[in-house]
Amino acid sequence: MGALVTLVTPAALRISVAGLAEPDASHLRACVDALPDWEIGDSHFQALVADPHRAEAIPVLRDRPLGTVVLLVVARGDRQLPGTISLVRPFDDADVRTALDRVQALIDRRSSVLANAARVGEAMRTASESRRQESAALQSLNSLFDLAVCFRDRLVKELSVVVRVHDRRFHLFPQHRRYWSDTPLQSLDRYRGSSDVDLRVEILGAVDPERLRGGGYLDDFACHLGFRAGNGALFPWIDADAAHRVIRWPSVGSSRVAAMLSMGAATVRDVESQTSAPKAQIHDFLNACSLAGWLQVSAAPRRAANLRVVAPAQAAAAKRPPVQRSLLAKIRERMGIAS
């Protein structure tokens, strides 16, 4: 990364003189000495007063530092060059002050431009370094889990992305919530659990209209990727102890798990005890819904005991008060006589 450009504004601006004869030189010196913001010096000067008609001024003009403001000395009545600052001989104190005020304004403007250019340059270097780091990060993916994290944190903000998984290509259009591929999403299953997947991600700046129209929903891509990316382990951003519910029924995973979580919020332990589904299968289902944006967290989880479904007849019998038998009924029961 390049070094920052530091601009130092001196306490007094310095002006140098070239090819100026007496008494003009002494008069100019007296005018400058009376100004608090200016001084005369032969080095590190920001402005140069030169008489272009004198030979000794030519090499000084030619070799002047870059950015030096030049004031040309002209005779009264001479035509002044457009875009230049001139001092008319013989010098007048008011004319000198006016000319130096113009020089100072020009120096301040140039300093502002240079400072802004330095900031822009630093921002461009920072952005370039950031893009380089992002590009390196995108090329360092080697598992479906890496791709899932990248999809969640980075790719969903882009306009157009190409994801290559070995020889399989998926075009994602996150801003349009669409994707396109000539490869079925189920093909991702062969890379489940692998940490040596040939993954390449390319950020594009334009959308292919044909593929945008002919593709599927991005949520389906996210769902299939999330279902396989965890390989039975829950994504780190999902709380295993929290109760979750799904707002859409995905096309992957157990229908029993989907049915339970679509009816209400439950924890992983609740789902496991009520559906007998393996915990890894439940994790994969939650991962899929999370990556697709279909998973919601409930503040008040329902416990497993409250999730048990009771038949209506059983519930009615449980609520019915016990029947008090009469003495005659007890005698008939003792003697074996049916009521």
pLDDT digits (tens, 9 = 90+) for 23-54: 888 888 888 888 887 888 888 888 888 888 88
pLDDT band at 270 (very low <50, low <70, confident <90, very high): very high
For the chain, give every residue range classified as CATH 3.40.50.2300: 13-117
Percent of the chain whose predicted confidence (pLDDT) is above 70: 78
Q: What is the pLDDT of residue 76?
A: 77
Task: Tell me the average pLDDT across 271-287.
Answer: 93
Is residue 191 scored above 50 in pLDDT? yes
As a whole number of angstroms, the longest Cα–Cα distance in the chain is 151
Looking at residue 244, what is its pLDDT? 94
Q: Is the pLDDT of residue 309 over 80?
A: no
| Contact yes or no for 304/270 (Cβ under 8 A) | yes
- Note whether 248 and 200 are within 8 A (CB): no
Identify the band that residue 83 occupies on the pLDDT scale cut at 50, 70 and 90. low
Query: Domain 13-117 falls in which CATH fold?
Result: Rossmann fold (3.40.50)
- Highest-scoring range by mean pLDDT, 59-73, 97-111, 163-177, 292-306: 163-177
Res 207: pLDDT: 82
Instruction: Kindly tell me the burial class for residue 75, based on how many C-beta atoms sit within 10 Å of its own C-beta (0-12, 13-18, 19 or more).
Output: exposed
Give the pLDDT of residue 330.
62
**pLDDT per position as a tens digit, 118-148:** 787 777 777 666 655 555 556 678 889 989 9
pTM of the model: 0.53
Question: Cα–Cα–Cα angle for 194, 196, 197, nearest 5°?
Answer: 85
On average, the pLDDT of the chain sits at 79
Cα separation, 224 vs 96, whole angstroms: 78
Give the range among 6-20, 134-148, 273-287 with minimum mean pLDDT. 6-20
Binned at pLDDT 50, 70 and 90, residue 336 comes out as low
Q: Give residue 331's pLDDT band: very low, low, confident or very high (50, 70, 90).
A: low
Residues of 208-244 as b/e, b for ≥16 C-beta within 10 angstroms?
A: eeebeeebeebbbbbbbbbbbbbbeebbeebeeeebb
Rounded Cα gap, residues 174 and 5, in angstroms = 39
The stretch 91-96 carries a mean pLDDT of 83
Question: Minimal CA–CA distance to 286: which of 321, 243, 331?
Answer: 243
Cα–Cα distance for residue pair 68/42, rounded to 1 Å: 13
In degrees rounded to 5, what are phi and psi of residue 82? -65, 140
Average pLDDT over residues 149-159: 89
Give, in words, the CATH class of 232-316.
mainly alpha
